[in-house]
Chain A
């Protein structure tokens, strides 16, 4: 029984005049098991962001069915955390206050936040410490480097202990070294907490290093054209990215992307 499933999904964005618009995804079918780390790669504009919105219940498919945790998605799923390429932190809140934001929204924390404030603050501080930001809670986002902001954004996505983590090119705007550092952060968080991850990315090395399975999407309208299981043993060290086995997988996937672009 898969945790997230999309079954024959078509999704269309109507254009402004009310015309038929364009198909963003067509016949999109994919299944993600509980606790699995799945990466979705594809040419730009292939509907990866649409996939994010469909799986979190921000939009509903035109045709087909989306199920999360066994239930058909008809409203925002509330068990998902999201992080994007830009950290989207609130500049008027300290790092710690930014982390507490989801708890002020999502039930049941929302009702309990006044009563259990100190407990939640401790939880946020633990989470910050686990990504190497211990003691930075009082800093404002603009006092942090890009990599630190992105870590904070990851923490915010995880503070309510979601069962599903949706990542939309979360490391895309970072320099190569910071990016690899954050791969380690997300790898460790996933290993420790066992949530399900759907990672949308352009970076094939990132996909292969992190994921249990890589799905290749076609150009618009997007659908899955290739699936590749990554059997590299875990825990994976960054050294694995320099092995020929790793490069072969990346190379093979790249071939599929090139085909998908045509």
Chain B
């Protein structure tokens, strides 16, 4: 056992504490008014004081995000496999996808509201629309980068395209897929909060908008903290999932020191 102080394990906590300390210190030293930038202690106090609305709205945001994310995983995986399967479909859908991805999703929210009203559905759909693209691209890339020699080995044995997909394509794509989930989950939060702050009576996005309208700036920041916590937890879950499913692809010691 290593009894020495483990710098790497302690680093995330130390860095976070340092960040909060600098924030707190600057607010006091520079005499920044709390309605402009509240110090972390005040944010924490507000967080505890308003824990009930923060909690219920966080749950709402989490559920819209997860529904949107689940749609993105299903749809993204399917589309990625189809695009990686066929050159024609790849060529045909690529400009569409790029164009679609280039559209700021905030511009789509009014259309979604027109179709589905305000609340849960547009938030989940915005989360879906913003997060499926990285999944599609990563899955398709995984399939497109199969070594041609490996394909030859199997083809010479009479393997069908489906065989090659099952034996090589899909297992090979998994690290790309799980890697993309980490990006997609964070984007999904962006999508649902955007939609909530434009068109919803629930969710953290809405809570922050209302707090801002009433000049409760510490509550706005408390909302941000709630979002950050949700984001970190989901990202961590995806990272754990990635390590468990594709441990074979992560044997590099490059970033471990």
Interface residues, chain A, with chain B CB atoms under 8 Å away: 53, 56-58, 75-78, 80, 82, 84, 86, 88, 90-92, 101-102, 104-107, 140, 142, 156-157, 160, 166
Contacts and interface: CB of A to CB of B under 8 A. Distances in A.
A160 B157 CA distance: 10
B168 interface: yes
A16 to B, nearest CB: 12
B232 interface: no
Contacts, number: 64
A76 B153 contact: no
B248 interface: yes
A156 B155 CA distance: 14
Contacts of B155: 58, 76
Interface of B: 147, 149-150, 152-159, 163, 167-168, 171-172, 246, 248-249, 251
Contacts of A57: 156
Contacts of A88: 147, 149-150, 153
B152 A58 contact: yes
A105 B163 contact: yes
Contacts of B154: 101-102, 105
A249 to B, nearest CB: 30
Given A58-B155, A58-B156, A105-B157, A92 B171 contact: yes
Nearest to B152: A58
Given A84-B153, A90-B167, A160-B157, 7 more contacts: A58-B156, A76-B155, A76-B157, A76-B158, A88-B153, A90-B171, A102-B157
Most buried by B among A101, A107, A166: A101
Instruction: Please report whether the interface of chain A is mostly helix, strand, loop or mixed according to DSSP.
Output: loop
Contact of A106 (B147, B158, B251): B158
Contacts of B251: 142
A157 B163 CA distance: 18
B248 A86 contact: no
Nearest to A104: B167
A82 B156 contact: yes
Contacts of B167: 90, 101, 104-105
A91 B249 contact: yes
A189 to B, nearest CB: 18
B229 to A, nearest CB: 34
B153 to A, nearest CB: 5
B152 A53 contact: yes
B157 A86 contact: no
Contacts of A58: 152, 155-156
